[in-house]
Structures are given as structure tokens and as C-alpha cells.
Structure 1
Amino acid sequence: MKEIVIMLAEIVNNIHDILIDLLGVHMTDKELHFWIIGVIGMITFFVVFFFFKLIEKMKLSITIISFIFTFTGMVVLVFAIELQQAITNRGNMEFADAVAGLWGFLGLFFVYSIIGLIIYVMKKLFTDN
């Protein structure tokens, strides 16, 4: 996990150097963060907006959007926990731990989905439509 964080930091530093050296962009870190995060945020917004508009047309749109939002929160949470472990030296900072935590959520969500599907099918079978 530490290696992944270090690798990501190196990628960000390389992008920073490219912007400064090759493009002649001379900004403070705050200005650079303003523009880069702003652009990344807007690109992400438009991609997410497009996909959520497609999901909106589906029958289980609220469930799908709730899952996506929750999964995103879980990704942030598990990586925050792993970083906290590295900072406090309590536990091992490992990518596999983060993945295991996400698999736990996906497994329990799968069980929830199966139970929901069974209830849905039972209602359809026993109600007049």
C-alpha cells in the first residue's frame, strides 16, 4: 500500500514538473491545485452526470445510485483507514486490506440483493397483476 501511495505521489510530482518545465506554467501550488483539481472535478462531474442520466431511466435507479454513492464512500473510507494505520503505526498499511474491506461490502450487498430479489419474485407470484 505504501508503494502505491508513493507511486501516485511520484505521478503527481511528474505532472507538476511537466506543467512547470515544458509548458512554462509558473504558478504557486495553490493556483496549480485550483486549476488542476477544478478541471478534473468538472470532467468528472460531466461524466458522472451523463451516466446518472442514463441510470435515471432504469427501473431501480435509486438503488443503483445509492450503491454507487455508498461504494464511493467505502473506497474513501478504506483508504483513509489504511493511511491512518500508516501514520499511527497501528496495523499494516496494505492494499490487500482495503480490497478485503471492499469485498466485504460487495458480499453483503450481494446478499441484500438476493434477499430483495426473492421478496420481489414472491410478491409478483402471489399478487394479481
Structure 2
Amino acid sequence: MGEIIKFIVAIVNELHDIVITIMYGLGFNVTDKQLHFWVIGLLGMGGFIVVQLLFRVLAKWSITAISFIYSITVLLVVVFAIEIQQKITGRGNMEFADAVIGIQGFIVLFLVYLVIRLLLVWSKKLTNSFTNKHNHTK
């Protein structure tokens, strides 16, 4: 896990240097704070537009899909925060496998939830169908 974080940090550092070089090459003399303002702001707005379009499509299909995406996103942040906290404090082992197994736990339990929900919906439709047929025969 530590190696993965170091690799991600190295990529971010390289991208940071490339963006600063490009900005200076274009004649913009920006501070680190200004660079963060624009880069994170633009990334956030780009992400927002993609999420907005995706959620509009999903909302027509199922609110459950939106809830799942939100939940797994929050869980990813929490899982990696726990692993980083373990590394910083030395309480526990910071391992990528721990993060993966935690997310797998959510996915398995979510699938169990979906099966139960589908069974309930199916049984309700079956009951309504039987009741409607029984009422029409009288």
C-alpha cells in the first residue's frame, strides 16, 4: 500500500511540475495557491459535469444506482483514510489488500440487499397478480 501511495504521489508531483512549466511557458506567473485554485477548480467542475450527466441518466432508471455510487465513493475515501491513519500511527498494517477486502465486503452485502429487494418486489407483484385474477373471477 505504501508503494502505491508513493507511486501516486510521484505521478502527482510530475504533473505538478509539468503544469507549472506550461504556465510559465505561456507567460503566467502563478503561485502554488493560484495553481491549486485553478487546477482543482477545473477538475472539480469537470467531474461535476460528468457526474451530473451520469446521475440524470441513472435517476431515470434507479435512485438505488445513485445511492450505490455515492456510498462506494465515500467508502473508498474512508477505507484509504483508515489505511493512511494506520501508517501514520503505526497501529495496524497499511495494506492495499485491507482496502480491497473492505470494499468487497460492501459489494457482497449490497448484492445480498439487491437480492432481498428483488425477491420482495417479485413477491409483491406475484401477490398483486394473484389478487387481481382472484377478484376478476368473482
Range into which the TM-score falls when normalised by the shorter chain: over 0.9
1:83 matched to which residue of 2? Answer: 84
Percentage of pairs with the same residue:
53
Which 4+ residue blocks in structure 1 deviate beyond 4 angstroms?
Answer: none
Cα-Cα RMSD: 1.3
Structure 1 residues 25-34 or 117-126, which shifts more?
Answer: 25-34
2:70 matched to which residue of 1? Answer: 69
Show CA shifts across 1:62-120 (max 9, x none): 21111111111111110000010010011111111101000000000011110111111
- Shift in Å at residue 22 of structure 1? 4.1
Shift of the 56–6 alpha-carbon distance from structure 1 to 2, 3 Å rule, reads: same
Show CA shifts across 1:32-82 (max 9, x none): 111110010011001001111111211xx2211111111111111100000
SS in 2 for 1:57: helix
Runs of at least 5 residues in structure 1 that lack an aligned partner in the other structure: none
- Which structure exhibits the higher relative contact order, with contacts defined as CA atoms closer than 8 Å and separated by 6 or more residues? 1
SS in 2 for 1:79: helix
Contact in 1 for aligned 2:79/2:99 (Cα 8 Å): yes
C-alpha distance in 1 between matches for 2:101 and 2:23: 41
Choose which of 30, 55, 60 in structure 2 pairs with 1:57.
60
Contact in 1 for aligned 2:23/2:30 (Cα 8 Å): no
Give 2:13's aligned amino acid.
N
C-alpha distance in 1 between matches for 2:78 and 2:69: 14
SS in 2 for 1:93: coil
Instruction: From the two aligned structures, give the one with the greater helix fraction.
Output: 2
C-alpha distance in 2 between matches for 1:35 and 1:23: 11
1:30 matched to which residue of 2? Answer: 33
Aligned length: 127
C-alpha distance in 2 between matches for 1:74 and 1:80: 10
